[in-house]
Structures are given as C-alpha cells and as structure tokens.
Chains A and B, each alone.
Chain A
Amino acid sequence: MSYKYFPHTPSDIRAMLNTCGEKSLDDLYKDIPNGLILKREYDLPHAMSEVEIRRFFNDLGEYNRPLTCFVGAGCYDHYSPSVINTIISRSEFLTSYTPYQAEISQGTLQYIFEYQSMIASLTGMEVSNASMYDGCTATAEAMMMAVAATKKRTKVLISATLNPIVTRVVETYAKFHGITTDIIAQEGGVTSRDDFERKVAAGDVAGVIVPAPNFYGIVEDYTGWADFCHSHKTLLIMNCVASALGAIKSPGEWDADIAVGDGQSLGIPMNFGGPYVGFLATRKSLIRKMPGRIVGATTDADGQRAFVLTLQAREQHIRREKATSNICSNESLMALYVTIYMALMGSKGLKEVNELGYSGAHYLAEQLCQTGHFSLAFPDKPFLNEFAVKTSLPISDLQDFCAELGMQFGLKISDDTLLICVTEMRSKTEIDMLTDVIKNFIESAEEGKK
C-alpha cells in the first residue's frame, strides 16, 4: 500500500495497531454502526502520476482562452510585481495556520499589522481588520456592523450605482439577517442626492452604502453626504476599488464611517474570480463592532516589541452566537500579497498606476467615439479607468468577434451598453489593435447589410 503522501509501511501499521490494542484498520471504525459504513470504492478516477496530472491540466487548459483584457467590473488586470509571488510561495507563510501561537507566528502577525496600517492609510481611516473574504462579503459585513452600531435600526440604503454583484451579495445577507434594504436611485450615472436625502431623512436608516468609483467608473462627488448622514445618526459606508484610492479622494477624506471593498486591484491575479481579499476599515470608536481578526502590538516577557491577535473576545470562538460576525479565517495570504504590493509601489507607484489607467481609458473612449458607432453613456461625468458606452452594434457578436482575435472587449451591461476598462497593462499598440478589430467588425457588418 505504499503511496508518496503516506509514510506507513505494513510493519509500521502492525506495530501501531498493536499499541492501540486493535487488530486491523477496520477495527478503528468498529464504533460506527455497520450499516453506516461505506462498503464500496468511490466512483472516482484512479490515481494519476505527476506526469499525467500535468498532461491532464495542460490539455484542459486548451479549452480556456486568456484574453487581452478590456474589462473590469470588480476584477482588474493590473501589473503584479514578480517579487510578490516569490515571497508568498515561501512555505513558512503558505503552510502555516492562523497565528494563534504568537511566539512562532510573528511573520504572519507582523505582516497583518503592516497590512492593517497600509489599508488604514490608503482608506484614510483609523483602523482596519486583518482582511475579509472579498469585497462583496466585506460590504455585507459593513452593513451588519452599521446595524449593530446603531442599535435598533434595521434599514440600509444602497446606491443604484454600486456594482450589482456587490448589491446582490449585500441583499442576500440582509434578507437572512433581518435587515431591510432600499435602493437610492441614480440620475445620469451618479447617485441621486435628492433620493439619498429623502430616504435618510425618513429615519431608521443604519447605514448608506455608496461606491467610489461607481459601477460605471464615475468618480462621484460626495460633498456634504457624510454630514447629512451624521445629522441623522446614520453611518456612511463607502465601497471602493482599492487601487483607485491611490488617486481619488479617500473615504476618510469624505468623512465616511466605514470603508470597504476588494483589494484584488492591488496586483492580485484575476484567477477566474478568486482568491482575492476584502478590506474593512473604520473609525477607532467602532473598533469593537468591527468583524474579523485584529492584530495589535504588545511586548513579550523580555520586553521586546511583538504582535498578537487581540480583541478576540468579540469573535466567534469566544462569543459564539453573540460574536460580531461568524468569520474566522481572514484572507491572510492575500493580505500579504497586497501588503507586498503596496510596499513596492508606494504612494507614487499607486498614483502612477491610476494616471496610466486614466490616460489609456480616455484615449480608448475617444477612439471608440471617433468610429461613430459608440458614445459615452454619461458624457458629462468624470471617470477614472472604466467607462460605459452606448452602441447600436450587436454587442454579443462584437464581443465574440474580438474574442476570436484574443481580446475581451468589455462587459455587456444592457442591450446597448458596454462597460470597458483600461489599466496600465494595456499598451497603445493593444488599444489601437482593438480599435482596428472593431473597425473591421463595423465594416464587415456594413458590408453584410449591403
């Protein structure tokens, strides 16, 4: 029975069974009623060697087509420095557990402390937790946190310009947690100020969730929104694209109460949807309402500085049903990922990434409009690196046409609207090539009409 992951020889097994006073491996299961024991082999493939495994996935990979990416909508194709992969592959980080034994987990604890510091600074907030699963669940947790912090209030407002993927998750959590949600209408691609004020003033609102930038890539103006919320004892929750915060006004600068979002845009590979990392940062006064783990600084028995999980009495393993959340693991390794990213990029690198994305996106927008078949969906609104265009072209056909030539052209968000993204990864050559492909499509479509 020898196998590479099992070191047991037949004589080991005999000796160990002997110590246990048992005769066979089956005897170790004699406490289980016989009728409940599985008496057949699993209906699964036979074992594969590494040679076969590699071949299997190489073959399967042929059915995927990684494309030159002109889509965002919650997942962004950003530059990932080579250093990161080298460090996070270190098995001391990769194969460790949650840092309960602080004396032999200072590596993990220290990077989480660095992560918390960087996220707090990036969002302009005072404190951050050790990370969450993703941006959607972090936003849902922020909603529950707002409800807990405002005691008896049970209503949360969500801007119509929030990414609908986030909204769906928030609404799901709300439905089961007993929270009522309502949508604040949008006007011309931005959240309606009138609808916001009317619905907050109606009372019983624990929190308001607004995006920065919003689903259409637009950077909204929230001047006065926090004051209005606070005058009604409502919390302002801002869902952000992490990378964008290197350039646009931070939640702290808007005086928001909770900043959440996905950290994927800080260099994490797209990975077909995960793993990413959610972030959640807030005011110090709300630290005990914050879900998830928190690392704090302290000293050891010799008086030297060290780090440790703290405020654990808020958490599920102690508070059980009264915990601030059921979350136990954070997304630790991905928190390390974005920590190294932010360390390498610094505030200047992050700003440069945004400048490149802004320039490329505006260049592509202009090229598209010049074809005469596209127009900006919200022409008077400022956008960063993502924008919505209207077109009379058949969108799905156009996307298939581009995909055949190796390009993912935007996300179809309605019958006549595409959401397009350009990051620092897209060169002028690639953008021009995309424009050419689209022109070819238009030409052949027009020829087809004739």
Chain B
Amino acid sequence: MNNQYYSKLIFELSHEGRRGYSLPDNEFKEYDLASMPQNLLRQQEPDLPQVDELTVVRHYTNMSNNNFGVDTGFYPLGSCTMKYNPKINEEICAMPAFSGLHPLQQENTVQGALEVYYNLQRSLAEISGLSEFTLNPYAGAHGELTGLMIMRSYHMSRNDSKRTKVIVPDSAHGTNPASAAVCGLEVVVVKSRPDGTVDVDDLQPLLGDDIAGMMMTNPNTLGIFEHDIAKIAQLVHDCGGLMYYDGANLNPMLGKCRPGDLGFDIMHINLHKTFSTPHGGGGPGSGPVGVRAGLEQFLPNPRVKRTEGDDWYQYSIENTDSALGSISSFLGNFAVIMRAYTYILTLGRENLAQVGPLATLNANYIKESLKDCYELPLKGVCKHEFVFDGLKDKSTGVTTLDVAKRLLDYGFHAPTIYFPLLFHEAMMIEPTENESKETLDAFIEVMRKIAHEAATDPELVKSAPHHTPVRRLDDTKAALKQIVTFAELRQAEL
C-alpha cells in the first residue's frame, strides 16, 4: 500500500528551511572558504531539495514498494540469471575491517583485502579452466571491452596489426558488437543454423589473416550448447585468432564444463549473474576477465600478486608496462568481489557443482510443461534458458509483450522479450537453481491461464497490466518530449 503524498518526486516534498543532516561545528573558523577568490566559487546554488530525515525515509520506502526484486518473487528473466542474493554476502561485504579501507593505503595495511581479491581470482581460474584473472572490470560489458583489449594487445605485441575484425554470431548479446566497436574492432556477423548454433559453413569463409578473434557465448542466447565448439575454436586458432567467451551464460556450466577446456582463450564472468551478487536495479556489477596461460601479461593494471617463502606470504599491488593499460580507478568493485567470494566459500566445491544441473533441470521442466501452448522453435534439451516464439495460437493477436505484461498482474516478473532477434515473438525464460518445483508449477499454471485468456478474452491480456502501480506507459511520448530532469518537468505539460 502506498502513500500518494510521499510517492511524489523528492523535489515536490521540499520546503524552504528544512534540513536532513547534522554536521560537527567548525573548529577552525579562522580558515574560511569565503576567502577563496569569488570568481572560483559557485554563484548559483544547486537546486537540491530541503527535506527532513523522516520525509526522506518515507519517500524512498514508498518508492521501493513500486519495485519488484528477486526477494519479491520469481524473476525468470532470460540471460540475466536472477538467482537468489544470499544475505550473508551483504553482511560480510559491509564489515568495517574491509569497507573502511582507502584504496591507496600502504599494502601492508590491506593484506586481508588483497587476499580476498587474490583468492577469488584463483577460484575463478579453477572454475573456468583459465590461467589468470583480473577482477578490475566493473560489469559484463566492461569485461568484454577489457577482454577485447587483451585480444588486440596480443596481436599488437606480435606486430600483427592487420587483425582488426572480430566475428560475432547474429544471436549474440548486443554488447558484443558494441564492445568491439569501442575497442576499435570491426564486427563481422556469422549466421546461425536453424537449430540456433553457429553455422560452421558460414564461418569458414570469414576466417583470414585480418581476424583478431571470435566472440561466443556457450550455451548461446537460445540456451543451446554449441556442439561444434571444439571445431570452431580450432578453425579460429588456425587462422591466428583468439576465442572470446561471453560469460553471461556461465551458470549452467557450473560443475559440468569449463570454458578453458572448450578452447576459449579469454572470457569474462558476470559476478552479478553466476556468483549471486545483487543486480541493484542495474549495477553495481562486476565483470572479471580471465585468460589462458601466455596472455596474462596483457591483463590491465593494477594487479594483485602473491609472493611466498617457506613460512610466509604477502600480497602486493603491481603495475607493468606489458599490461594493456588501466580500465578502472582502483581494484574494481571490491564490495561485489567480497560478496562473490563469500558465495563460493558458502557453497563450496560440492554445492557449486550442483548449480548448473539444477538450473538446467528447472529450465527444461518449464519448457516441457508449456510447449503445448507456447511455440517452441528449438526442440530438444536446453541448458539454463530457452526461447518460446510467442503463443502457439497466433490467431488471437495477443503478442509476447501482452503476455509479459499480463504476467506482472499475477505477481511474476516477465521473461526477457524480443531477444534474441532471430524470432519475431521471442520470450526468453531463465529460472535459476534456487526455484522450487512448487514455484515453477505456479508459474506454469499462470502461463497456461494467460494462454487461455488470450483465446477467450484477448482484450484482457492486450490491456494488461491491470494491477500494477502504473499501467502501460507511453514510450513514444517519453522519446518525443525528452523530459529527463525535474527542471524540465516543471516547464512541460505532460
């Protein structure tokens, strides 16, 4: 239940003369900021609200009630791996002995933090089958960019400067080509076969001495394992390129399969997907990047190194000239790194190995339970996710968007929709290993009910959602009016 008053914009709750903070008295009044040259000081105060503390608390608490999180309910968002975010992770990363550290303190005062960083690198290396990791990248896309920088650095170090193209499947996440472009690489698209996997016949003619490498995710965005991966990796290696693994879909691999063993040379891992750190409404994430032996010298600065003797060891922060450069202020999103390491220690080797199979079981269970009323374009076993191409009965005019919105009415988050682009009415569903059979059964029942509603009362579905804090939004108006600040909102008519 939400209060209309407190749900307004914070600026609309502002009253001249209110304040929400307290600060100590100035003990050095003889040094006065006003003595700085006027010309260097701000002339116009920023237009920030004036609100008391309780108003701030109620305002944001009311707003939170308009949100849906993993803790609220089932979140089958494909390619996003919305698994449970364990609470112990939050407790550990907030420990003052870690959170109170300045990133530029002398190394001998931060050995515990460096050990966390170092040990997570090693754990990820073991899980991925690669040699060395950096934990500096802040997100998956940032990891992709870092990985491609490593790829280019490798070629540049061999004076092989003509390798400026990177091969990306047409089913790839949009970040792949975008990261390639930021990294100064040209994208070459390779087609998918009808079964959704990379078409090796289409790939072969693309390979040449201008290819820097190939980016793939495996299982791919359709949830299908690329069974020709060994052959693909060999072809790319034979032409002198490197294989990049987009770790967005790593979850089903846990316990079963390692990218390094499949022939990949470089990869990123989304800690906020596979290793349970919260998405936070779109960040902060973390996108560690791993490389096979022989590429570690290109990993970005700074790096954490361990030195040991007979009865001692110590950690240090190092910068090298062979590195590709720096891609972050310090050592990445350390509090996210803390959470992921806590997760790995909590599950341990025995439970980490169950993650992939149980996530895969859950996905296949939903797929098999709904394929009679939703169009399943790719038959057979999937991995952690799969794609329906809309309702089986297309005659009702009810679209994937309508089904997604109707799901919200029933208290479920929607799947990823209209991605991948290979299908017109794509609906990409990814449960995770944390969901019980009962939760999945409830979701399946609602999905069947919506299919029934589409047939009997299509308008009900087309006008959904009906029970959410707001109804369907006018995207076109937002794009045309471009009201992106309160100052603009005050001027505009909406």
Contacts and interface: CB of A to CB of B under 8 A. Distances in A.
A379 to B, nearest CB: 15
A375 to B, nearest CB: 18
A22 B329 contact: no
Given A97-B82, A339-B10, A382-B37, 5 more contacts: A8-B436, A103-B408, A133-B139, A310-B478, A346-B49
Given A99-B281, A327-B141, A298 B229 contact: no
A408 to B, nearest CB: 6
Contacts of A306: 470, 473
A298 to B, nearest CB: 4
B348 A46 contact: yes
Interface in B239-273: 255-258, 261-262
Contact of A17 (B44, B361, B477): B361
A200 to B, nearest CB: 22
Contacts of B112: 60-64
Contact of B46 (A113, A246, A408): A246
Given A6-B354, A64-B97, A349-B21, A104 B433 contact: no
A336 B334 contact: no
Contact of B50 (A35, A346, A424): A346
Interface in A1-24: 1, 3, 5-8, 12-13, 15-17, 19-22
Given A47-B347, A66-B101, A248-B40, A93 B64 contact: yes
Contacts of B158: none
A57 B104 contact: no
A400 B106 contact: yes
B364 interface: yes
B381 A31 contact: yes
B478 A6 contact: no
Nearest to A274: B333
Interface in A311-347: 311, 315-323, 325-334, 336, 339-340, 342-347
A435 interface: no
Interface in A81-134: 81, 83, 85-87, 89-99, 101-108, 110-111, 113-114, 116-118, 120-122, 124, 126-128, 130-131, 133-134
Interface in A123-151: 124, 126-128, 130-131, 133-137, 144
Interface residues of B, number: 197
A306 to B, nearest CB: 4
Q: How large is the interface on A (under 10, 10 to 19, 20 to 34, 35 or more residues)?
A: 35 or more
A60 B473 contact: no
Contact of A272 (B85, B330, B347, B369): B330
Interface stretch (A164-172, A202-210, A441-449): A164-172
B85 A94 contact: yes
A334 B284 contact: yes
Interface in B464-494: 465, 468-475, 477-479, 481-489, 492, 494
A427 interface: yes
B42 A248 contact: yes
A38 B149 contact: no
B353 A42 contact: yes
Given A296-B483, A343-B48, A165 B27 contact: no
Given A92-B64, A326-B175, A333-B283, A347 B336 contact: no
Interface in B100-128: 100-106, 108-113, 115-116, 123, 126-127
A98 B279 contact: yes
B472 A75 contact: no
A20 B362 CA distance: 10
Contact of B484 (A107, A296, A328, A362): A296
B69 interface: yes
Interface string B135-162: 0001111101100110010000000000
A359 B483 contact: no
Contacts of A340: 56, 60
A137 B56 contact: no
B327 A169 contact: yes
Nearest to A419: B104
Nearest to B87: A91
Interface in B355-376: 357-358, 360-362, 364-365, 367-369
